[in-house]
Structure 1
Amino acid sequence: MQKEGIKPDEVTMVSVISACSISGALDMGRWVHTFIDKHIIKVDLELTTALINMYARCGCIEKSRELFDAMPEKDTKAWSSMIVGLAIHGLAEDALDVFSKMQETNVKPNQVTFVGVLSACAHRGLVTQGRIYWSNMIGYGIEPLLEHYGCMVDILCRAGRIEEAYRFVETMPMAPNAIIWRTLLMGCKKKGMLEKGEIVAERLFELEPVNAENYVLLSNMYAANSMWEEVSWVRKKMKDIGIKALPGCSLVEIDGFVHEFVVSDRSHPEAKEIREVLQDIAERVRQTGHDPWTSVVLHDVGDEEKEGALCEHSERLAIAYGLLKTKSPVVIRVAKNLRVCPDCHEVTKIISKIYEREIIVRDRVRFHRFVDGACSCKDYW
């Protein structure tokens, strides 16, 4: 388009910014934002909302909030984008405060608004508030979608109320989807509810018989309880079906180039240097008195091998590369395809303190912002 000499307008830029948002390309998104300002492209309500959404989904929630607060007028989509953005960053109080201000301005919320509100409650364990907002949604005449039911199940499961969540699912006026059953199965695993977990897993397998993630969840539940025969049975079933578990994969962007790491990855051209950083991290973390959470390594091996496996997780490799190639105050931004494990979460908090670096990790559920030994999730995730 640029080669043809055609000048883009605000409609074009909404599409470009949205593409950056979907792909998580923060550097490109920033470049596009600068392009908009440089070429004096009209920044209307829809384009500003797209920018708010892009910065939030690319891990730069401060810039997102700055743009939102500067808007002279806000419609339902703008308010909802900000609420959802704050929610996925675990900033529940801020998200609910924005929702309150939205109500004060008499802007009517929609279904997306309440997905954000309920998600915020889930990320902070606000069960009572979640129920109140559910009632508010009904009061606005908004018919709950599967996403809203999924949020309520998530709220209850994160709070450890598995039986209550199961009853809620059983009374849904529509058929629960795989996401809802998977949320329940994760809740059962966390609480060690084997019998209920097996029931939930069967329902999940009926909907997604060839999704490896479901079998891995069941296998991990067995492994967490040292039920190795059952673990072998699940793995054999996966082999018979012909499916493989998705390996952990983390991405880190350095100077405009995306570097990908998988668990125990040694294929990177600078693998030797990365291993040296990992060794330095391991030694300095050990000096803080950290005791590795070997219980999260769900393999029938000794503790020494488990500790070694933890150090090889993909997010640790990505963070090590970020430390190797950048200096403070550059933020290390990592995206992971799976949920961050508890030990990596704890170690990343320690890394942020001893190396004096800000680290933002986006896993499959939410953003974690690590600064000075603490995480934005406040260890509720």
Structure 2
Amino acid sequence: MLAGLAKCGLFSEARDLFDEMPERNAASWNTVVDMCCKMGDLRAARNLFDEMPERNVVSWNAMICGYAKAGDPDSARELFDAMPRRDSVSWNAMIGCYVRNGRFPEALELFRSMQESNVKPDEVTVVAVLPACAHLGALDIGRWIHAYIRKQRIKMDVHVRTALVEMYGKCGSLEDAMRLFDHAAKKDVFLYNTIIEVLAMHGAVEKVFEVFDYMRSEGFDPNDVTFIALLRACNHVGLVETGLKYFHMMNTEFRLVPKVEHYGCAVDLLGRTGRLEEARELILGMPMVPPPVVWTSLLSACVIHGNHKLGEEVALHLIELEPRSCANYVMLANMYSKANRYEYAAKIRRMMKENGVVKKPGCSSIEIDNRVYEFFAGDRDHPRCKETYEMLDRMASRLKREGYKPCLLSALHDVDKSGKEQALLHHSEKLALAFGLISTNSGAAIRIAKNLRICEDCHLFMKLASNHYKRQVIVRDCNRFHHFNEGSCSCSDYW
């Protein structure tokens, strides 16, 4: 009865029934704790948990899942470490908690600890941990997990396959992702959407359209997520008219009402090709109140195309809407800096400080020998720091002899030329590249994952380095993949 009331959403009645029960066992306590967690009332859940006369592993798991959903991984880990006994559900819940809250290195470390504790990972485990590999670009660890799936005969259902396709695609191995997709005996919309999204990230736009057409021929109707991936694919190569065709097709052919995300993609599509006024008109004509993320797309386009008047107008509107969002301040300050209006840029940075807004630091990760290393701009707290910086200095000297000229417009502080060059040289992706060159065998591909958009200077640096050192360098930034090879990039310098 208690479980039935809870499942029907009658939480107050369920709690009253629990309080009236003359006799309670672990199952009744667990039911009401789980109910409070699902309601989001973690305080009540924890109070009940602490009052329980006897707890079993289900009790602990319910609380860990509750903290995970509430975005509190530290409290979840505290309980996890205190558990007298853990089962696979406990490990899966904690790994999933870390992934859901962006704590990817800790998720991988916990996955290793799980194996050392002789708890056998199952399909739920691998589906939970593979997104951590995908985010960090940890291809070798992802491949090990794939081999483990085969060795342990873990069922390769559509969820496991989809997680593997996403992992390979987001780690830069498009061939492996496509192979897994092609060999799938059973496909669903989620698998199609995942491979379309992966192909879009790599700029393989013709393949995107091919898979989309095949999806429809197999009788699968696209959904909202499909069209987001299609619009992003068009965006990566500047296919404005094709993108707008898909945007309108949502409603005319599939009766799908475009959501905020679709409008954001369309605005980005128009803005990045310089059609700023059309992008602005599209925003003003939205059937819903334009959220900040859509205005941010327009602001980014204004920065790229140097439309300072519209950019300033949009940025100030965004700061009014989101006074705690660092991206708006940073883009406006960057726009001022590129226009040599350093006093205005300094004013915006002071405004950030006064409002307690902290800039999100650039971070790049690289996997070496099954271990993920993270680098921040100017970072000196990492393994082989001295060797990495020495290598970076040698690289800069050699590439300058081959025509490298630092893009000083990408250095956004009002310092002299030498200071700007030094700041650019110490960007996180360059540190990761230098570390990769001294840590891997000659000729091996180097894969780097970056949390922000790669700047023009780093893009040029990577192109020249790929040619000079005869290495394929694969960089995934927050927008897409860049495959640098023999001095050129797969994005054709459009990103």
Q: Please state which band the TM-score falls in when normalised by the shorter chain.
A: over 0.9
In structure 1, stretches of 5+ residues that fail to align are none
In structure 1, the residue matched to 2:422 is 308
In structure 1, the residue matched to 2:239 is 126
Query: How many Å apart are 1:352 and its aligned residue?
Result: 0.8
Flag the 1:355–1:3 CA change in 2: closer, same or farther, 3 A: closer
In structure 2, the residue matched to 1:298 is 412
| One-letter identity of the residue aligned with 1:373 | G
Is 1:145 aligned with 2:259? yes
For 2:472, which of 335, 350, 358 is the aligned residue? 358
In structure 1, the residue matched to 2:454 is 340
Q: What is the SS of the residue equivalent to 1:333? A: strand
Q: Describe the superposition over 1:147-203 as per-residue Cα deviations: whole angstroms up to 9, x where unpaired.
A: 111110111111111111011001111122222111111111122212211221122
In structure 1, the residue matched to 2:222 is 109
In structure 2, the residue matched to 1:216 is 330
Q: Within 1, Cα distance between the matches of 2:449 and 2:420?
A: 24
- State the TM-score, normalizing by the size of structure 2: 0.73
Q: Within 2, Cα distance between the matches of 1:148 and 1:245?
A: 27
- State the TM-score, normalizing by the size of structure 1: 0.94
* Cα contact 2:378–2:428 (8 A) shared by 1: yes
Q: Describe the superposition over 1:273-310 as per-residue Cα deviations: whole angstroms up to 9, x where unpaired.
A: 11221122112211212222112212223323322222
For 1:289, which of 388, 403, 422 is the aligned residue? 403
For 1:370, which of 470, 484, 487 is the aligned residue? 484
In structure 2, the residue matched to 1:245 is 359
Is 1:88 aligned with 2:204? no
Q: What is the SS of the residue equivalent to 1:43? A: coil
* Cα contact 2:449–2:476 (8 A) shared by 1: yes
Is 1:193 aligned with 2:307? yes
For 2:170, which of 52, 57, 74 is the aligned residue? 57
Flag the 1:278–1:72 CA change in 2: closer, same or farther, 3 A: same
In structure 2, the residue matched to 1:33 is 146
Q: What is the SS of the residue equivalent to 1:182? A: helix
In structure 2, the residue matched to 1:46 is 159
Flag the 1:368–1:228 CA change in 2: closer, same or farther, 3 A: same
* Cα contact 1:91–1:376 (8 A) shared by 2: no
* Cα contact 2:138–2:372 (8 A) shared by 1: no
| One-letter identity of the residue aligned with 2:161 | T
* Cα contact 2:137–2:447 (8 A) shared by 1: no
| One-letter identity of the residue aligned with 1:41 | I
Please say which structure displays the higher CA radius of gyration. Answer: 2
Provide the aligned C-alpha RMSD in A: 1.9
Query: How many Å apart are 1:19 and its aligned residue?
Result: 4.6
Q: What is the SS of the residue equivalent to 2:367? A: strand
Query: How many Å apart are 1:72 and its aligned residue?
Result: 2.7
**Larger helix proportion, structure 1 or 2?**
2
* Cα contact 1:92–1:121 (8 A) shared by 2: yes
Q: Within 2, Cα distance between the matches of 1:196 and 1:8?
A: 53
Query: How many Å apart are 1:92 and its aligned residue?
Result: 1.8
* Cα contact 1:96–1:120 (8 A) shared by 2: no
Identity of aligned residues (%): 46
Matches within 5 A, 1:134-283: 134-138=247-251, 139-283=253-397
Q: Within 1, Cα distance between the matches of 2:452 and 2:468?
A: 26
Q: Within 2, Cα distance between the matches of 1:48 and 1:113?
A: 18
Q: Describe the superposition over 1:246-299 as per-residue Cα deviations: whole angstroms up to 9, x where unpaired.
A: 232222121122222222222334222112211221122112122221122122
In structure 1, the residue matched to 2:463 is 349
In structure 2, stretches of 5+ residues that fail to align are 1-87, 89-114
* Cα contact 1:189–1:197 (8 A) shared by 2: yes
Q: Within 2, Cα distance between the matches of 1:255 and 1:208?
A: 42
For 1:318, which of 420, 424, 432 is the aligned residue? 432
Flag the 1:326–1:233 CA change in 2: closer, same or farther, 3 A: same
Q: Describe the superposition over 1:194-246 as per-residue Cα deviations: whole angstroms up to 9, x where unpaired.
A: 22112211221133111122111111111111112211221221121122322
